[in-house]
Structure 1
């Protein structure tokens, strides 16, 4: 009975992870199918392996974790937050298949994964920080001049910049820049950001 409880907890956890957190925040439909399929597939296969009498079930389940990760990450390009959701879905499936642990422990670990993803991927966490790859219409070789130019261009404070390509012939510079936007000023009357009322 405890195994069925773990299955139910895993299904609830992955539904919350995918439909409660990932899709409302990132709106990528193809990864919804991927996360659900990977979670249920790992849950089914790892459950069968963990029930084997040889005691190799858990080891094979973890090996499956690694193999599926390599195959999935090599098949398409993923952003770092998508990688985190991917491994979370895998971890939920593994935990749901562990019949050797109590339902309370596995359920608590599943809940921990969902809570961590909720907090770590929250829009309010480091909401002013941005990351972009820019192509500038000039070749800038001096790092200080480059940072100053980017800060004027972005109207933000640049924290890190890496030159990916410097073309002196075509006068272009490709940079990977990480920066923080200045917080929007508050209006004196309402205490809300000055640009809040300008939305159409």
Structure 2
């Protein structure tokens, strides 16, 4: 049941929408590892302190690869939870199945492209410094061909005449693929 659930999450939802093979593998490996540890802890009746120690060990593992988004962290979290649920609830398969279904349904809907698919986030480096926020917004809308919802200047370099802006916008002609 755990393998079906993580394959649905990793391959069926995440990979089809985000196409990051490296994280797909990480989600599956993390889930299977968590499932194995929880299953072993339940079968062996190891002291609870050892269990907390193992999960403490897992919590200090840092994600040292390329930068990941908050969305991808959510997938990591659900991969962990699926492993925990299926490991702990192995004696009650209907409960595990129901919880797997709820977790997968929530991820499918919450990350669905049609939910907020036209909203985008981007760091933009401009070759100009705008003193007027309205001119900055107009310049960004012109360059992005989109309606700017929010823009925050994160860096200004007057020597090189460069501005770095964190922009959230709505794409006007975004074609969202439904999966």
Find the residue that maps to 2:114 and give its secondary structure: coil
Does residue 135 of structure 1 match 2:125? Answer: yes
Superposition TM-score, scaled by structure 2 size: 0.85
Superposition TM-score, scaled by structure 1 size: 0.77
More relative contact order, 1 or 2 (CA 8 Å, 6+ apart): 2
Which whole-Å CA distance do the structure 2 matches of 1:63 and 1:116 have between them?
Answer: 28
- Report matched runs for 1:57-76 at 5 Å: 60=51, 64=55, 67-76=57-66
1:9-30 per-position Cα deviation (integer Å, ceiling 9, x unaligned) = 1111111111111112222112
Shift of 1:85: 1.2
Question: For the structure 1 residues 85 and 134, does the alpha-carbon distance in structure 2 shift closer, same or farther, using more than 3 Å as the test?
Answer: same
Match of 2:79 in 1: 89
Which whole-Å CA distance do the structure 2 matches of 1:166 and 1:17 have between them?
Answer: 41
Which whole-Å CA distance do the structure 2 matches of 1:128 and 1:16 have between them?
Answer: 25
Shift of 1:124: 1.3
1:10 to 2, 8, 24: 2
Give the aligned CA root-mean-square deviation in angstroms: 2.5
Larger Rg: 1
Count of matched residue positions in the alignment of Structure 1 and Structure 2: 175
Which whole-Å CA distance do the structure 2 matches of 1:88 and 1:80 have between them?
Answer: 13
Counterpart contact for 2:38–2:87, Cα < 8 Å: yes
Does residue 34 of structure 1 match 2:26? Answer: yes
Match of 1:161 in 2: 151
Question: For the structure 1 residues 36 and 13, does the alpha-carbon distance in structure 2 shift closer, same or farther, using more than 3 Å as the test?
Answer: same
